[in-house]
Structure 1
Amino acid sequence: MMEFRTQGYNGYAVKYSPFFDSRICVAASANFGLVGNGRIYVLGLTPNGIQAEKWFNTQDSVYDVAWSERHENQLVVASGDGSVKLFDINVNDYPVQSWKEHNREVYAVHWNLVSKDTFASSSWDGTIKIWSPERQNSILTLPTHSCTYSTAFSPHSPSIISSVSSDSHLRIFDLRTPASASNHLVALIPIHGPAPLMGGPANSLRPNTPPSEALTHDWNKYRSTVVATAGVDQIIRTFDTRNPKGGPVAMLRGHEYAVRKLAWSPHLSDVLLSASYDMTCRVWSDGTSMSQPNAHPGIAGNGSQLGRMDRHTEFCTGVDWCLFGSEGWCASVAWDERLLVWDVRSQISPQMRS
């Protein structure tokens, strides 16, 4: 396990470079992101440990970061002052571009993984905005009408974008549809709708559970209609967007406090990572891998926790997988001012490996 200290700055997000397996970016903020400035670290994994290659200071807190998918030296940052900033590693001190259209804190940014020419931001002001690095103004604004903590382009389509927000809904937008009154909204999925009975068929439902804020979500990298969500109620849920009224397909329980970040594996279709305010990062299977003897994709309740990493000593806020090399390497950040790089496989119990 490798470690880097973000001295004086509490981690909020971590992202591996899509171009280099040895480069990581961390978004961190002073005073736990409540007041003060932020810092973006560009870090290199070397034989001598993790080294800071570059850092940028910001006047306000920073909550998320996304690498450009077409320029190896550029990254976009979500800021507490409502701005979105683009930095270039080869340019000292200042962002090469800055946009300020959001009226509240920007809490998430995500680059288009397919077309690679746009990125999205979401804000506490109840909007998602889509941007191009070449334009001075946003391309499109998608209203969510509630504090939006997470937004993401589908890794399977350049036109599908999703979000989760404080009203406990997963929204799916298709930019190919006419805007009309729906503003490209094609699915509004209640996260805390009818829940499947554990171990029973997906249509065996319990009464509605009370809604709570959804803080994070991620698209499955191999199954184009599967999305995982999580938030304040500690439960990770997976949904199939082909059946928006069918409720969650799987529910993964184990975290003791809110789940702050989810990331599906880029190597395995059934594995995902989570980071939580209970100071742990955990690895899960959603139960759909046919290599598991009792796995049935159409039946809820087969998901399970495979392992946990509890080396952080404060709220865990970010986690990301390395895209390159052997499966299992990841990075995590927390409010304990530490970045940890570790092998997920080392945290999986021997019983679960068989």
Structure 2
Amino acid sequence: MASMLEFRTPGFNPYAVKYSPYYDSRLAVAASSNYGIVGNGRLFVLGLGPQGIQLEKGFDTNDALYDLAWSEINENQLVVACGDGSLKLFDLAAGDFPVMNFAEHKREAFSVCWNPIAKDSFISSSWDGTIKIWSPSRPTSLKTLPVGNCTYSTAFSPMNPSIISAVSSDSHIRVFDLRTPVSAKYHLTTVIPAHAPPQAPTGPGAGPGAPLPMLSTGETFAGSVPSEILTHDWNKYRDGVIATAGVDRFIRTFDLRNPTGGPTAVLPGHEYAVRRLAWSPHASDVLASASYDMTVRVWSDGSSSSPPAAAAPGLGQSNHVIPVGNQLGVMNRHSEFATGVDWCLFGAGGWLASAGWDQRVLVWDAHTLLRP
């Protein structure tokens, strides 16, 4: 494959890679020793230049690092999520130690996201079943949102600074709106069971005796046994559209305007659990995924094509069809679990960074993958 750059993280297994929102030539990697099971962590800040990928700065932590987010108000700052439940804010211009430490989570902090609109706060989620909202200038959280289950991923809506989403081990998507009264379920406004069939079955063949829908892979994709959701991301162009994926290998998209309508598209193809999703910042129908099957894949959810390339009937509702998205390409250069993927915000719209447990960070042009 042409146009691929590589950086090694010897002794550390990456969990996340993120491009800077300020520079197309800078990215950061959160990594852990011993696959994050035991030991310390390291944050790598990398620069892309004529000599390839170079280390600009490294920060060591006493526990594993599982995620990171760049500050939206300071180009030199970024926050990491740690295995001891803490969050640490580092500054590239302020030495080797964190400038702030946030220690309230009772178990591993697994996800962190900066507010892309208000820019004055960030959120974290943890295996302790909570989401916490933070200000970068104060050590105690602004608010805690209870989920009740191991919460693998949380994110701010890219359209509304008051809306927060989360996915968890109980196979549900939760959406919180901070504008609602706190007494109303702690701002919880929407709960979607990601593996449930669409509601209100009608027509012949409906009901519990109806056969499960099948894909060309020969596997059911909807209404299957609930499984852990490990990752999700908001579409940058279509308000309320979220993609989710996890242990059952399928990527699903949902429209929050129709929370009981089931998935709006399903993307089959990964052979093992999907660890990370990222919608393209350049195209409304394109997303990338990183999986334990050691591949990074680029997809179209089919929303820009009419009619969709393929469709399958939804469970228990004979007149409900779920479009099946298209796999545009596969990158299989990782030799261990692929755990991170992110799009560069700048340029022609095809550059991706990926990271995996093979102690490698790869930067490559997804256009070389795309089928004609």
Alignment TM class, shorter chain as reference: over 0.9
1:321 corresponding residue in structure 2: 343
Alignment of 1:47-86 (within 5 A): 47-86=50-89
2:230 corresponding residue in structure 1: 215
Conserved? CA contact 1:148–1:164, under 8 Å: yes
> Structure 1 residues 153 and 206, CA, compared in 2 at 3 Å: closer, same or farther?
closer
Query: What's the offset of the Cα at 1:303?
Result: 1.0
1:265 corresponding residue in structure 2: 280
1:171 corresponding residue in structure 2: 174
Query: What's the offset of the Cα at 1:208?
Result: 2.5
Conserved? CA contact 2:126–2:152, under 8 Å: yes
2:204 corresponding residue in structure 1: none
Letter in 1 for 2:361: L
Alignment of 1:169-318 (within 5 A): 169-194=172-197, 208-290=223-305, 294=308, 300-318=322-340
Matched position secondary structure for 1:183: helix
Output the CA distance in 2 between the equivalents of 1:43 and 1:232.
Answer: 30
Query: What's the offset of the Cα at 1:181?
Result: 4.2
Letter in 2 for 1:277: Y
Conserved? CA contact 1:198–1:301, under 8 Å: no
Conserved? CA contact 2:154–2:167, under 8 Å: yes
Matched position secondary structure for 1:32: helix
Output the CA distance in 2 between the equivalents of 1:239 and 1:165.
Answer: 16
1:12 corresponding residue in structure 2: 15
Pair 1:157 & 2:163 matched: no
Matched position secondary structure for 1:300: strand
Letter in 2 for 1:272: L
Report the more deviating stretch, 104-113 or 172-181.
Answer: 172-181
Pair 1:91 & 2:94 matched: yes
Aligned length: 344
Matched position secondary structure for 2:34: helix
Output the CA distance in 1 between the equivalents of 2:214 and 2:235.
Answer: 22
Query: What's the offset of the Cα at 1:304?
Result: 1.1
Output the CA distance in 1 between the equivalents of 2:118 and 2:111.
Answer: 19
Letter in 2 for 1:246: G
Matched position secondary structure for 1:210: coil
Which of these residues, 357, 361, 368, is aligned with residue 335 of structure 1?
A: 357
> Structure 1 residues 63 and 314, CA, compared in 2 at 3 Å: closer, same or farther?
same
> Structure 1 residues 284 and 257, CA, compared in 2 at 3 Å: closer, same or farther?
same
Q: TM-score, normalised by structure 2?
A: 0.90
Conserved? CA contact 1:198–1:300, under 8 Å: no
Conserved? CA contact 1:161–1:174, under 8 Å: yes
CA RMSD of aligned residues (A): 1.8
Identical aligned residues as a percent: 65
Output the CA distance in 2 between the equivalents of 1:315 and 1:281.
Answer: 10
Output the CA distance in 1 between the equivalents of 2:296 and 2:79.
Answer: 25
Conserved? CA contact 1:6–1:337, under 8 Å: yes
Query: What's the offset of the Cα at 1:207?
Result: 7.2
* Post-superposition CA distance 1:73-97 (Å, at most 9, x none): 0000000001010000011110000
Letter in 2 for 1:317: T
Alignment of 1:81-120 (within 5 A): 81-120=84-123
* Post-superposition CA distance 1:147-185 (Å, at most 9, x none): 000000000000000000000000000000001141000
Letter in 2 for 1:315: F
Output the CA distance in 1 between the equivalents of 2:46 and 2:283.
Answer: 26
Letter in 1 for 2:284: S
Conserved? CA contact 1:85–1:95, under 8 Å: yes
Output the CA distance in 1 between the equivalents of 2:177 and 2:221.
Answer: 31
Which of these residues, 123, 126, 129, is aligned with residue 126 of structure 1?
A: 129
Letter in 2 for 1:214: I
> Structure 1 residues 103 and 206, CA, compared in 2 at 3 Å: closer, same or farther?
closer
Query: What's the offset of the Cα at 1:293?
Result: 6.0
* Post-superposition CA distance 1:3-51 (Å, at most 9, x none): 0000110010000000000000000000000000000000000101100
1:30 corresponding residue in structure 2: 33
